């Protein structure tokens, strides 16, 4: 047994941590002290019982064990752990917790250096843990263990069960869950209360080894961690019966205290119940092995080659690009939601199967796992149908608070997919991804643009979304064309342009056909391929607004939040431009792509009609 695994010493550390949990939340006037108190022994035993291997002076050490607080509202417990580890001053914790500008936020974020990933939206931590464990077992091949603290309330989330099944599928014996079954949620009893067997039956059925314990007994806690660490070829879950508000009689197992801080006079009543508080007691973390992954070396890549007379779907170009570019970006990994033969991520899988993770039809877990992989320096490309990424919007939303480096690719976008009908049509994805802070949103029209933009995405640090098309589109650009993020391409321009058509993706070719038809009638229009929808090229758009009578945007996406609104919001601040938005405004249905483009009035015919309307021509 580790010399620190002395229950008496651990009890002293736990008492001190309870003091700081209560004092910090009382000073802040808010927080979740009772949810923290229930898991205090569980986390004290993990950190200071000789199990958690961590170089506290180097949070970035590649072989540190990893800890995710999926129940992120228990952040007072997380910070108290680092007080006990000697890496956070107790008074600083009390005085700055939840204060503006403090890294000690109400739910953990990466502003605090010991946080792996931002949590707090429940049901996501286990998926992040899956990504961290996948990285250790299959990529870096390091012996670090990932621990995830889970709340019983969040086990109602479907994303938890997505994570449970994929962790068992990949035999992640380096992943240990700690389920804090404290019976009470925000408004009353949880689904199964203290029925630990109900959790055990369900979790074991998903292929996990399970251990039922008293979550306040250090001997049972230490024994469970030891056994969990010895499990082979499957993940382990410690299912602990705990008491919410443990240690304070008027809080213990009492409903109505979730997310409620004690008043100062209540704190005075509570502290004596904690026993003797030694604020100087500290636990010691054990050092990790000093093993490091091999640093991948970037290599050269093949040049682009697309015959100019052969149309290619941009989804195909995405798969080609990922496969072609991997030597240059050896941190790339690919995750797909069982549609790789449609997204064309299969091209990458065929050549680099060890860098590809099939995540099946479980998009929430796919995004969470990608975040875990990104936390360890990988560049995840996450692909599925654009429509299905909407299922994982909360995971995408939360990933922005981890300052992550994930690339999302949505194929089968828009009504132009045709006969499959509206259930498969991504029509909200541009709005969704534009709403993410500091995201980049790209929509290439041909194979060359797609290849170049995949490369730009790989180089860019941050969240990038690439929208690809099902149908084959002509090769418009030459192989030497560049596509910087934030740029656009002016495809048609003259000194007599009467209107500007701004578009992207498949409707670029509708605009070009409209240009040719109008030119025959002596009407000149400017055509802009706005391949970078966020950020966009404001200078070129403003120039067009000044030089032509109207801006007409065309997109295979709903009007709300799409390309048209991006252009409008850009121009309205500086140029009094009239922007006409052609977008999907009718409920889609099955049909041929060209029929649907006409039906939604985003086709060549609709563009010509709109140009003539703004010019008051018949």
The overall average pLDDT reported for the chain is 97
Residues 6+ apart with CB under 8 A from 196: 181, 212, 239, 241
Say yes or no to pLDDT of 2 above 80.
no
- Class level of CATH domain 489-614: alpha beta
pLDDT, residue 291, reads 86
Catalytic residue positions, numbered: 363
Mean pLDDT of the region 172-189: 98
Residue 578 — pLDDT band, cuts 50, 70, 90? confident
| Spatial contact of 168 and 235, defined as CB atoms under 8 Å apart | yes
- Domain residue spans in the chain? 7-274, 312-473, 489-614
Say yes or no to pLDDT of 574 above 80.
no
Q: What is the residue-wise DSSP string for 254-297?
A: -TT-TT-PPPHHHHHHHGGGG----TT----PBPPP---PPPP-
Instruction: List, edge to edge, every strand of the sheet that includes 209-214.
Output: 66-69, 146-151, 175-181, 236-241, 209-214
pLDDT, residue 154, reads 98
Say yes or no to pLDDT of 430 above 90.
yes
More confident position, 372 or 297: 372
- What is the bridge-based pairing of β-strands 525-529 and 175-181? unpaired
Q: Any idea which residue has 């949990």 for tokens?
A: 21
Separation CA 16–CA 8 (nearest Å): 13
pLDDT, residue 294, reads 84
- Does domain 7-274 match CATH 3.40.50.970? yes
Say yes or no to pLDDT of 3 above 60.
no
Note the pLDDT tens digit of each residue in 219-263: 999 999 999 999 999 999 999 999 999 999 999 999 999 999 999
Note the pLDDT tens digit of each residue in 65-112: 999 999 999 999 999 999 999 999 999 999 999 999 999 999 999 999
Note the pLDDT tens digit of each residue in 556-572: 999 999 999 999 999 98
C-alpha neighbours within 13 Å on the C-beta side of residue 382: 34
Say yes or no to pLDDT of 514 above 60.
yes
Say yes or no to pLDDT of 313 above 60.
yes
Residue 482 — pLDDT band, cuts 50, 70, 90? very high
Residue 427 — pLDDT band, cuts 50, 70, 90? very high
Q: Per the CATH hierarchy, to which homologous superfamily does domain 312-473 belong?
A: Thiamin diphosphate (ThDP)-binding fold, Pyr/PP domains (3.40.50.970)
Mean pLDDT of the region 302-323: 96
Say if pTM beats, i.e. exceeds, 0.85.
Answer: yes
As a residue count, the chain comes to 618
């Amino acid at each position: 047994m580790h010399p620190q695994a002395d229950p008496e010493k651990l009890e002293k550390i736990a008492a001190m941590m309870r003091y700081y949990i209560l004092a910090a939340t009382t000073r802040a006037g808010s927080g979740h002290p009772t949810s923290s108190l229930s898991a205090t022994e569980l986390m004290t035993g993990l950190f200071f019982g000789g199990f958690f291997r961590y170089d506290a002076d180097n949070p970035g050490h590649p072989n540190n064990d990893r800890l995710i607080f999926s129940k992120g509202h228990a952040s007072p417990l997380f910070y108290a752990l680092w007080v006990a580890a000697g890496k956070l001053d107790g008074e600083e914790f009390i005085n700055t917790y939840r204060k503006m500008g403090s890294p000690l936020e109400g739910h953990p974020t990466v502003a605090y250096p010991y946080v792996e990933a931002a949590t707090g939206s429940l049901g996501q931590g286990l998926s992040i843990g899956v990504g961290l464990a996948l990285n250790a077992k299959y990529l870096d091949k390091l012996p670090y263990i990932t621990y995830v603290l889970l709340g019983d309330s969040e086990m109602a989330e479907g994303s938890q069960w997505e994570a449970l099944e994929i962790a068992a599928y990949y035999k992640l014996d380096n992943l240990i869950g700690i389920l804090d079954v404290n019976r009470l949620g925000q408004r009353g009893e949880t689904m199964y209360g203290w029925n630990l067997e109900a959790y055990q039956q369900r979790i074991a059925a998903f292929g996990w080894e399970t251990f039922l314990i008293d979550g306040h007994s250090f001997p049972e806690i230490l024994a469970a961690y030891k056994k969990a660490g010895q499990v082979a070829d499957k993940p382990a879950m410690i299912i602990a019966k705990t008491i919410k508000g443990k240690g304070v009689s008027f809080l213990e197992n009492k409903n109505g205290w979730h997310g409620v801080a004690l008043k100062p006079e209540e704190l005075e009543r509570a502290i004596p119940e904690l026993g003797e508080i030694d604020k100087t007691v500290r636990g010691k973390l054990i050092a990790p092995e000093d093993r490091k992954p091999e640093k991948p070396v970037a290599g050269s890549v093949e040049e682009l080659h697309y015959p100019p007379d052969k149309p290619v779907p941009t989804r195909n170009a995405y798969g080609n690009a990922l496969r072609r570019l991997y030597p240059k970006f050896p941190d790339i990994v690919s995750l797909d939601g069982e549609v790789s033969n449609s997204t064309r991520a299969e091209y990458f899988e065929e050549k680099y199967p060890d860098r590809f993770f099939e995540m099946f039809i479980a998009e929430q877990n796919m995004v969470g796992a990608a975040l875990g992989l990104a936390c360890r320096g990988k560049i995840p490309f996450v692909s599925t149908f654009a429509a299905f990424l909407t299922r994982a919007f909360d995971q995408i939303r939360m990933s922005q608070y981890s300052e992550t480096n994930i690339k999302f690719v949505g194929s089968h976008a828009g009504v132009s997919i045709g006969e499959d009908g509206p259930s498969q049509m991504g029509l909200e994805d541009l709005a969704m991804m534009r709403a993410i802070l500091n995201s980049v949103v790209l929509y290439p029209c041909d194979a060359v643009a797609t290849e170049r933009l995949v490369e730009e995405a790989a180089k860019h640090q941050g969240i990038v979304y690439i929208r690809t098309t099902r149908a084959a589109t002509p090769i418009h650009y030459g192989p030497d064309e560049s596509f910087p993020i934030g740029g656009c391409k002016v495809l048609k321009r003259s000194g007599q342009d009467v209107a500007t058509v701004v578009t992207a993706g498949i409707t670029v070719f509708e605009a070009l056909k409209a240009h040719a038809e109008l030119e025959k009638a002596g009407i000149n229009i400017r055509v802009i391929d706005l391949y970078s929808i966020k950020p966009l090229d404001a200078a070129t758009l403003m120039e067009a607004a000044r030089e032509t009578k109207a801006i007409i945007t065309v997109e295979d996406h709903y009007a709300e939040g799409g390309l048209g609104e991006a252009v409008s919001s850009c121009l309205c601040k500086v140029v009094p431009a009239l922007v006409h938005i052609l977008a999907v405004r009718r409920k889609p249905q099955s049909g041929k792509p060209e029929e649907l483009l006409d039906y939604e009035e985003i086709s060549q015919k609709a563009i010509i009609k709109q140009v003539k309307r703004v010019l008051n021509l018949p």
